[in-house]
Amino acid sequence: MDNLFEYINDTEKFNKFPGTRYMGSKNKLIPNILRILEGYEFNTFYDAFAGSNVVSYLFKTVGKKVITNDFLTFSYLISKALIENSSENVSDSEVEFLLNHKNDQNFITNKFKGLYFSDEDNMFLDRVRFNIDLLDSEYKRAIALSALARSCMKKRARGIFTFTGERYDDGRKDMRLSLKEHFVLNVKLFNDAVFSGDAECYSHNESAQNLKVETDLIYLDPPYYTPNSDNDYVRRYHFVEGLVRNWKGVEIQENTTTKKFKSYHSPFSTKKETYLAFENLIDTYSDSIIAISYSSNSLPSKEELLVMLKKHKKDVVVHEIDYLYSFGNQNHKIGNNANKVKEYLFVAQ
Ligand SMILES: C[S@@+](CC[C@H](N)C(=O)[O-])C[C@H]1O[C@@H](n2cnc3c(N)ncnc32)[C@H](O)[C@@H]1O
């Protein structure tokens, strides 16, 4: 495809999405996903593992009623800010308030001293995190928290919190800006990305297997299970997840260098539970169109997923997209042939 975005009617709107290098993000596959799913009839699009929310944002821009879910609160807040929210912004005077209203918070400055950010950046985080809770609307709080989390990810090499210090410093300008500068830019980005879709949209923050949503189409993009690498989102993003939750309801593992907290349980972290979770989700949503993103180096295999889908659905199609991972989450390196995996999009109706 020469112009990857030729399939998106309103590219300008879609391009306002504040993307990140979120693990497993379908950013680069957006045109493929749209081109394939455009061939099906549906009004409601349920994104059960929304992650960065890029796929949900796409379907909001094309006028669908979008429902999102992810068990990470920071993903859920991006949904609140950009998918559910249709009009609210954080004003310049509110940004001023967030930056300048004095308080005596110092949890981050003490607990994470020397781990990820400078003392100055940590003091900034302490102040703003407290002030955000004083904003008077949940959508404004969601924008501010999403902007704060994105600032932290942008300033980190590789956008993750599995290591401390400045390893992998690639000299990007993003790493030189202060978190305060990032935050001001990011609030603007999130404000600009808010728009009113053609239908009301909703966001959930649950384990997907515990939720039943009425939907014409369910899109499943769970963590890809491979026996040799971990797909643990909390381990990578614990700092921003803790930040948006204000570390409420999680217990920091004090003996770890990264000061992470215990991962949330997900069935997609073991082989046995992964198979069961797929079976259950397919069974629960057998009255909806089921679209599944998965890859050729993960389990269940293509053939096994086909068998599961065919048990419930007459019409099952697998689309194959050659894909080069640029993010080392599958034990692959750029330039290595083993890096070439196929991304599948199964569609069953
Ligand atoms: C492959 S990513 C989704 C990527 C997303 N489609 C995007 O383009 O950014 C998988 C997501 O599933 C979430 N997740 C993992 N286990 C979950 C569970 N049991 N219930 C809900 N969400 C879960 C993770 O937090 C992660 O955001």
Q: d(Cα 229, Cα 339) in Å, to the nearest integer?
A: 14
Q: d(Cα 269, Cα 227) in Å, to the nearest integer?
A: 9
Residue 62 neighbours by CB under 8 Å, 6+ apart: 8, 9, 10, 34
Q: Which of 25, 33, 70 for a ligand 1 pocket mutation test, highest count of atoms within 8 Å of Cβ?
A: 70
Whether 205 lines ligand 1, by a CB cut-off of 6 Å, is no
Q: Specify if 17 maps to a domain.
A: yes
* pLDDT tens figures, 95-138: 999 999 999 999 999 999 999 999 999 999 999 999 999 999 99
Q: Specify if 55 maps to a domain.
A: yes
Q: d(Cα 44, Cα 314) in Å, to the nearest integer?
A: 21
Q: d(Cα 256, Cα 271) in Å, to the nearest integer?
A: 26
Is residue 300 reached through a cis peptide bond, with omega within 30 degrees of 0 on the bond before it? Answer: yes
Four-residue CA torsion sign, 281, 225, 346, 265: positive
Q: How far is CA 142 from the centre of its chain?
A: 14
Q: Specify burial of residue 154 (Cβ count, 10 A radius: 0-12, 13-18, 19+).
A: buried
Q: d(Cα 69, Cα 79) in Å, to the nearest integer?
A: 8
Q: d(Cα 231, Cα 329) in Å, to the nearest integer?
A: 8
- In the predicted model, residues of the chain with pLDDT beneath 50 are 1-4, 327-335
pLDDT in the model for residue 9: 63
Residue 171 neighbours by CB under 8 Å, 6+ apart: none
Residue 57's CB is within 10 A of a number of other CB atoms, namely: 27
Cα of 85 from ligand 1 centre, angstroms: 21
Half-sphere exposure of 288 (CA within 13 A, CB side): 24
Q: Specify if 267 maps to a domain.
A: yes
Domain count along the chain: 1
Q: Shortest CA distance to 40 belongs to which of 69, 6, 64?
A: 64
Whether 223 lines ligand 1, by a CB cut-off of 6 Å, is yes
pLDDT in the model for residue 180: 98
Q: d(Cα 130, Cα 148) in Å, to the nearest integer?
A: 12
Q: Specify if 114 maps to a domain.
A: yes
Q: Specify if 71 maps to a domain.
A: yes
**Which atom of ligand 1 approaches the CA of 264 most closely?**
16
Cα of 110 from ligand 1 centre, angstroms: 31
Q: What length does the chain have? A: 349
Helix H or strand E encompassing 144? helix 138-155
Whether 26 lines ligand 1, by a CB cut-off of 6 Å, is yes
Q: d(Cα 94, Cα 197) in Å, to the nearest integer?
A: 25
Whether 197 lines ligand 1, by a CB cut-off of 6 Å, is no
Cα of 53 from ligand 1 centre, angstroms: 10
Q: d(Cα 250, Cα 246) in Å, to the nearest integer?
A: 9
Q: Specify if 321 maps to a domain.
A: no
Tell the residue number behind the tokens 């949940």, with chain if given.
Answer: 138
pLDDT in the model for residue 189: 98
Phi-psi group of 171: left, alpha or beta (phi > 0 → left; psi -120 to 50 → alpha; rest → beta): left
- The type of residue at 114 is G
Alpha helices in 80-118 (DSSP H): 92-100, 107-111
Residue 266 neighbours by CB under 8 Å, 6+ apart: 71, 207, 222, 223, 233
pLDDT in the model for residue 333: 45
Q: Specify if 338 maps to a domain.
A: no
Q: Specify if 349 maps to a domain.
A: no
Q: Which domain holds residue 38?
A: 11-222+234-284
Phi, psi of 21 (to 5 degrees): -90, 45
